[in-house]
Amino acid sequence: MRVVVADDTMLLREGVALLLGEAGFEVVGQAADADELVTSVQTHTPDVAIVDLRMPPTHTDEGLRAALAIRAQHPGTGVLVLSQHADVGLAMKLLDGGAEGVGYMLKDRVADLDDFADAIRRVAAGGSALDPTIVSQLLSKRRATGPLDEITAREREVLELMAEGRSNQGIAERLEISDRGVQKHVTNIFDKLGLPAGTDDHRRVLAVLTFLRA
């Protein structure tokens, strides 16, 4: 799997590239700013671009704007944004165009290489990977009424883990329930949210978007 890494801090950029190489990824390009990132993606057409949220010159939202440009110009390239702090507003801007092939993680999660690599693979496959901190903040800001009103407490837990990008097996392990039990909850969630019939992967994305927008 081919990736491009963008971060203005050379030590962190090289460190992430080294870790990814050890995990079996091919780092085909590195960038120190947003312009270099966009050029690198155009040149190498990677499976995933790993993007620092704040890059030169202003260190505000250059990384986010570059990520949005990549999504628009290279829909086959997944985007995983790394941030020092959880920013729900910027995360929602990233997700405005859909949750397919998008991730938002805190930088301290990179130390858990297995989890980091799993997030990259999910994004490359067209799924989503949201940091649990972001999901928790979104839950705390949920409107008093909305499309999630019919969801039970357990179904809400399942939906929260779906938003993080967990598979049914991963959800089952986290909640210590059977795979069949997870599938039952997922089916109930689809039904209660009125999601149209289709592939489960597509409906998972729609369910996550409903959750985030609620």
What is the separation of C-alpha 2 from the centre of its chain, rounded to a whole number of angstroms?
Answer: 17
Alpha-carbon distance of 214 to 211, in angstroms, equals 5
In residues, how long is the chain? 214
Q: Given this model, what pLDDT does residue 193 score?
A: 85
Other Cβ atoms within 10 Å of 106 Cβ, number: 15
- In this prediction the pTM is 0.72
Six-digit token pair at 12? Answer: 């962190």
Q: Residue 2: which of 68, 49, 36 has the closest Cα?
A: 49
* 22 C-beta neighbours (distance < 10 Å), count: 10
Q: What pLDDT is attached to residue 86?
A: 80
Residue ranges of the chain that CATH labels 3.40.50.2300: 2-131
User: Which pair of structure tokens corresponds to residue 46?
Assistant: 């990677």
- pLDDT at 200 (0 to 100): 66
Range(s) of the chain covered by CATH 1.10.10.10: 142-213
pLDDT digits (tens), the chain, 214 positions: 999 999 999 988 999 999 999 999 999 999 999 999 999 999 999 999 999 988 888 888 899 999 999 999 999 999 999 988 888 788 878 877 777 899 999 988 888 899 899 999 989 998 888 888 877 776 666 555 667 778 888 998 998 888 887 888 989 999 999 999 999 999 898 888 887 776 666 677 777 777 766 6
**CATH number of the domain at 142-213, out of 3.40.50.720, 3.40.50.300, 1.10.10.10, 2.30.40.10?**
1.10.10.10
Distance in angstroms (rounded) separating the CA atoms of residues 169 and 21: 26
Secondary-structure class of domain 2-131 per CATH: alpha beta
For 71-81, write each residue's pLDDT tens digit: 999 999 999 99
105 in Cβ contact with 16 (< 8 Å): no
